[in-house]
Amino acid sequence: MIDDRFTVPLYTVPSAASHLGMKSSRLRDWAKKDSLLTTIDAESRYPRLPFIALVEAQVYQELLGAGLSLQAIRTGMAKVREQLGPRMLARGVLAHDGRDILMNLASAGDPEWTRARDLQGGLPRVIEMGLRPVTWDEQGIPQSVQLTAYHDADVIADPRIAFGQPVINRTRVRVEDLLSLFKAGESIDVVAEEMDIPPSSVESIVRSRNRVSTEATRR
């Protein structure tokens, strides 16, 4: 099931971090120190994260928001990657119970949920909130991901659209093109009219990017 979504580098660490609403240093740790992300060998100034890495990072953000600790994610996902490899984010195989990562090892039929960190099986019904931003193709492999850092703006990344660069859903408007207009001095209303999108979406995107830039400056 390995394809371009796993093997073609599309994002630098700083660009991916800006779309995820997190610091570059934290995403870099996830990629290097914690081995949480799929990476492609490349110099740091070039893209080294494939589409699937963006999906992985967004899922981890969701899991953190659901109350799982980074240690639980780090330990659990190491086991999940070991057991499932590239199938670890396939449809219906990953979940959580509010504390730990769970994986479904059943190849067909009813799910058989197993706690990843210690491979304890026979667990009851679980919460699958960690994969809410993901949509899958007919083979059950992640096809697009919603980038929730943009809040009210429905921003997705899909390798079939704009070479995987984040766009506003159901349009071809790239986030970076929108931000370029705003940075050039255009008002939110003018950008919205030019791009034919709601002003609230423009405002949400600008606010999210400004917040990330402010936090990076404070480091």
Candidate from 110-114, 167-171, 180-184 with smallest mean pLDDT: 110-114
Neighbours of 149 (CB within 10 A): 22
Do 138 and 131 meet the contact criterion of CB atoms below 8 Å apart?
no
pLDDT at site 44: 57
Residues in contact with 1: Cβ distance below 8 Å, sequence separation at least 6, in sequence order: 86, 87, 90, 139, 141
Candidate from 38-47, 55-64, 100-109, 138-147 with smallest mean pLDDT: 38-47
Q: What is the pLDDT of residues 61-99, one digit of tens each?
A: 999 998 999 999 999 999 999 999 888 999 888 989 889
Whether 55 has a pLDDT exceeding 70, the answer reads yes
Whether 167 has a pLDDT exceeding 60, the answer reads yes
What is the value of pTM for the model shown? 0.90
pLDDT at site 179: 96
pLDDT at site 110: 80
Task: Please name which of 27, 6, 159 lies closest in space to residue 86, comparing C-alpha atoms.
Answer: 6
Say whether 60 sits in a helix, a strand or coil.
Answer: helix
Q: Region 49-58: what's the mean pLDDT?
A: 96
Residues in contact with 166: Cβ distance below 8 Å, sequence separation at least 6, in sequence order: 19, 147, 155, 156, 157, 174, 175, 176
Task: Please name which of 103, 33, 22, 130 lies closest in space to residue 74, comparing C-alpha atoms.
Answer: 33
Residue ranges and CATH numbers for the domains of the chain are: 147-219 (1.10.10.10)
- Whole-number average pLDDT of the chain: 89
Residues in contact with 67: Cβ distance below 8 Å, sequence separation at least 6, in sequence order: 98, 99
pLDDT at site 129: 56
Percent of the chain scoring above 90 in pLDDT: 66
pLDDT band, residue 211 (cuts 50/70/90): confident
